[in-house]
A and B are shown apart, each in its own frame.
Chain A
Amino acid sequence: MKNNWEPKIVAFLCHWCSYAGADLAGISRIQYPPNIRVIRVPCSGAVNPLYILKALREGADGVLVSGCHPGDCHYLSGNYFARRKFFILHELLQWVGIEKDRVQFSWVSASEGQKFSQVVEETVEKVKKLGPAKKLVKEFTFHV
């Protein structure tokens, strides 16, 4: 079981850069691990820290958030605001003892299909090392 375990990773990709970067990777037939589940968001600045916690709570083994490079945000400054938020969240999660690599961040532009595949590979590799997520995963299911 342990040997063929594959992590599930939720990837929040910004519409203008990283999502297009993923698209380019696809069009260019660049291979990358199929462990990510992509959620397209308007901007990395639109990623509420609660989204990340929620993904972990619902059983994701890792979370990747990717947006435009600093200075390239479609909305001019969304990723700068995001960077502050993510920095605080990243430090806080580590401080309560959640593994540093569970939540990862990257900047990938629309022309960086190659970089996107590298980022995913790296992310998957790091999460695989950590093994299945246990902390923060819900112990109780409710029906809405």
Chain B
Amino acid sequence: MFEKEIRRKSEELLETKTVDMVIGYTSGSLPFQARPVLISSPEDTEQLVWNHFSSPNLARYLLPYRDSSKKIALLAKGCDARAVMVLIQEKQFPRERVHIIGLPCPGMISKTKLEKELGEIKEEDFSFEKDTFLWQGKKWEIFPFLEDTCSRCRYPNPPLYDELIGEKREPWGSSSTDYLEKINGQSEEERWQFWEEELSRCIRCYACRNACPLCYCKECFAESDLPRWVSGVPTLSDNLFFHLGRSMHLAGRCVECGACERACPEEIKIGLLPLKVEMIIKNNFSFEAGLSLEEDAPLLTYRETDPGEFIK
């Protein structure tokens, strides 16, 4: 899994003082988990890991260093690199201070799905290969165990990088729209029932917002006192208000990394809302976030031919 190459490269970057810090993954406190780690001395690079559980979006961890002078190397999967692109474009981080180590993403595996399918599992029993793993002497396909957000991934390869470790790969083939298609085909009442059930579980812990690499407002509208848009009490209507508002704020910016969905303690399919917005934008304004540094964000520009039939 290129772990050695990543460690060696990080060590080299730190030793030659090309960068002041490497942001990567290390083993989490529980099995089948990886957590972000900030490394600033070459000998600590041994801690770095890269596996099917390195799911947190590391672009999030650039933001505290926006106003510092540190040069930072960042391990970036497809979605992380796209998020970095949006941050650069929105002038939240200068391109020259970030060194992107691109990693074509092997797909992140959901621990919950593994446990559900295989029962009690131990980390040492698993050995992962390309798109498959061995467990109890049997070969399993990885795809059914992927995080929902990863199985619908369209860009596993980072679109922007300073160097690439590993081989570029093809997307899994299940397109994002498949996920939405099911809901698209439903009646208004069915769609409402679906979202009513999903969002009434929301406890408004804001984990989705805090995990999102692009939710960087100093004061979020959900917590603003003047004006007070929404109460802090997790009622259905206010949950819906929050998630709709957040999706609108992410319009044309969401990179579909699914950090929000994976962060959700209630396992709400919260990533679908910004994803839907992205699909509306892709289909009508032909724009996708985080793929180019030059193209204007869709809400910062317009065309005279934009759809307008919905206006009387």
Distance, CA A54 to CA B273, complexed state (A): 19
Residues of chain B contacted by A139 (CB below 8 angstroms): 235-238
Residues of chain B contacted by A144 (CB below 8 angstroms): 225-226, 228
Distance, CA A49 to CA B243, complexed state (A): 13
Residues of chain A contacted by B190 (CB below 8 angstroms): 97
Given that A53-B245, A142-B231 are contacting pairs, would A96 and B195 also be in contact in the complex, using a CB cutoff of 8 Å? Answer: yes
Residues of chain B contacted by A95 (CB below 8 angstroms): 183-184, 191, 276
Output the nearest chain B residue to A108 by Cβ-Cβ distance.
B312
Q: For residues 234 through 277 of chain B, which have their beta carbon under 8 Å from a beta carbon of chain A?
A: 235-238, 240-241, 244-245, 247-248, 251, 273, 276-277
Instruction: Please indicate which of the listed interface residues B183, B228, B311 has the most CB atoms of chain A within 10 Å of its own CB.
Output: B311
Q: Contact at B229–A54, with CB atoms within 8 Å?
A: yes
Q: Does A19 contact B (CB under 8 A)?
A: no
Interface string of A90-113 (1 = CB under 8 A from B): 111111111110001111000000
Q: Does B37 contact A (CB under 8 A)?
A: no
Given that A88-B277, A92-B276, A142-B228 are contacting pairs, would A136 and B237 also be in contact in the complex, using a CB cutoff of 8 Å? Answer: yes
Instruction: Please indicate which of the listed interface residues B183, B190, B231, B244 has the most CB atoms of chain A within 10 Å of its own CB.
Output: B244
Q: Contact at A97–B188, with CB atoms within 8 Å?
A: yes
Residues of chain A touching chain B, judged by Cβ–Cβ distance below 8 Å, are 49-50, 53-54, 57, 70-71, 77, 80-81, 83-100, 104-107, 119, 122, 135-140, 142, 144
Distance, CA A95 to CA B240, complexed state (A): 12
Q: Does B308 contact A (CB under 8 A)?
A: yes
Given that A96-B195, A97-B188, A97-B193 are contacting pairs, would A50 and B221 also be in contact in the complex, using a CB cutoff of 8 Å? Answer: yes
Q: Contact at A105–B311, with CB atoms within 8 Å?
A: yes
Residues of chain A contacted by B194 (CB below 8 angstroms): 97
Distance, CA A59 to CA B34, complexed state (A): 45
Q: Contact at A105–B310, with CB atoms within 8 Å?
A: yes
Q: Contact at A57–B192, with CB atoms within 8 Å?
A: no
Residues of chain B touching chain A, judged by Cβ–Cβ distance below 8 Å, are 183-184, 188-196, 221, 225-231, 233, 235-238, 240-241, 244-245, 247-248, 251, 273, 276-277, 280-281, 284-285, 298-299, 302-304, 306-308, 310-312
Given that A97-B189, A142-B228 are contacting pairs, would A85 and B307 also be in contact in the complex, using a CB cutoff of 8 Å? Answer: no
Residues of chain A contacted by B241 (CB below 8 angstroms): 53-54, 57, 136
Q: Contact at B284–A87, with CB atoms within 8 Å?
A: yes
Output the nearest chain A residue to B244 by Cβ-Cβ distance.
A53
Distance, CA A54 to CA B221, complexed state (A): 12
Contact of A80 among B195, B229, B302 (CB under 8 A): B302
Interface of A, secondary structure class, is: helix
Residues of chain A contacted by B284 (CB below 8 angstroms): 87
Q: In the complex, what's the smallest C-beta–C-beta distance from B309 to chain A, in angstroms?
A: 10
Residues of chain B contacted by A96 (CB below 8 angstroms): 191-192, 195, 240, 244, 273
Distance, CA A49 to CA B252, complexed state (A): 15
Q: In the complex, what's the smallest C-beta–C-beta distance from B145 to chain A, in angstroms?
A: 29
Output the nearest chain B residue to A81 by Cβ-Cβ distance.
B302
Output the nearest chain B residue to A95 by Cβ-Cβ distance.
B276
Q: Contact at B193–A87, with CB atoms within 8 Å?
A: no
Q: In the complex, what's the smallest C-beta–C-beta distance from B275 to chain A, in angstroms?
A: 11
Distance, CA A104 to CA B280, complexed state (A): 18
Q: Contact at A83–B311, with CB atoms within 8 Å?
A: yes
| 15 residue pairs bridging A and B, Cβ less than 8 Å apart | A50-B248, A53-B241, A71-B304, A83-B306, A83-B308, A84-B299, A86-B310, A87-B307, A88-B280, A91-B280, A92-B273, A96-B191, A97-B192, A119-B312, A139-B237
Residues of chain B contacted by A80 (CB below 8 angstroms): 302-304, 306
Residues of chain B contacted by A77 (CB below 8 angstroms): 302
Residues of chain B contacted by A86 (CB below 8 angstroms): 310-311
Q: In the complex, what's the smallest C-beta–C-beta distance from A11 to chain B, in angstroms?
A: 13
Distance, CA A53 to CA B193, complexed state (A): 19
Q: Contact at B235–A140, with CB atoms within 8 Å?
A: yes
Q: In the complex, what's the smallest C-beta–C-beta distance from A92 to chain B, in angstroms?
A: 6
Q: Contact at B280–A138, with CB atoms within 8 Å?
A: no
Contact of B306 among A53, A87, A142 (CB under 8 A): A87
Additional A-B contacts beyond A95-B184, A107-B312, A138-B235 (18; CB < 8 A): A53-B244, A53-B245, A70-B304, A83-B302, A83-B306, A83-B311, A85-B251, A87-B284, A87-B308, A88-B281, A91-B280, A96-B191, A97-B189, A97-B190, A97-B192, A97-B193, A105-B310, A135-B237
